[in-house]
Amino acid sequence: MYLFVGPGTLKFKTVPLDISEEAQNAAKEALCPSSASVTGEEEDIFSRGGYLSLQEQIRELRGVRMTRTHVPIQDLHLTCGEKVFEVSLWRDEALRDLYAGDEVVITHLRPCILNDGQGKFHSSTYTSVKMTTDLFIRPDKEKRFNLIIVPVG
């Protein structure tokens, strides 16, 4: 559901409306649904309905790939306690600057079971990725941006 408002959009003032709290909560849930926080140790994690949030460490990242319709997808493995989960981040979240070892909170993930019976999480339009430990300088970043000057001639 999208609402586009621009300079050409007509706006009308009305009298104040009394809207029930139930209707307000339903509207908030429609705009940004709730995302249950899970540890990853739950047995029924892939059979639950709705969106889930995971907070753990990125174990492995794969390169960003593109679908036929040019949608970027970032596949990663997330360590949650003793378990390792596969997560596919789509669209904008796939283009984030993430590294193995980062502690992250990923919200609004959709659990699904693949044809081979394995569970996997996919991001949704509501997904956000937040860093839980944002260090000022990361050792892996230092190595990536070392500048070597070689004299010519």
Q: Which CATH architecture has domain 48-134?
A: Beta Barrel (2.40)
Residue 87 DSSP SS3: strand
pTM for this entry = 0.70
- Domain spans of the chain, in order of start: 48-134
What does each C-alpha distance from 71 to 45, 89, 127 come to in angstroms? 27, 10, 15
Q: Are 116 and 134 in contact (CB under 8 A)?
A: no
- Identify the band that residue 152 occupies on the pLDDT scale cut at 50, 70 and 90: low
Dihedral of the CA atoms 86, 128, 109, 63 (nearest 10)?
Answer: -30
pLDDT over 70 at 131, yes or no: yes
> How many C-alpha atoms does 128 have within 13 Å on its Cβ side?
7
* pLDDT (tens digit per residue) in 65-107: 898 889 999 999 999 888 899 999 999 899 888 888 889 999 9
Output the pLDDT for position 134. Answer: 52
* pLDDT (tens digit per residue) in 9-46: 888 888 888 889 999 888 888 888 889 888 888 888 88
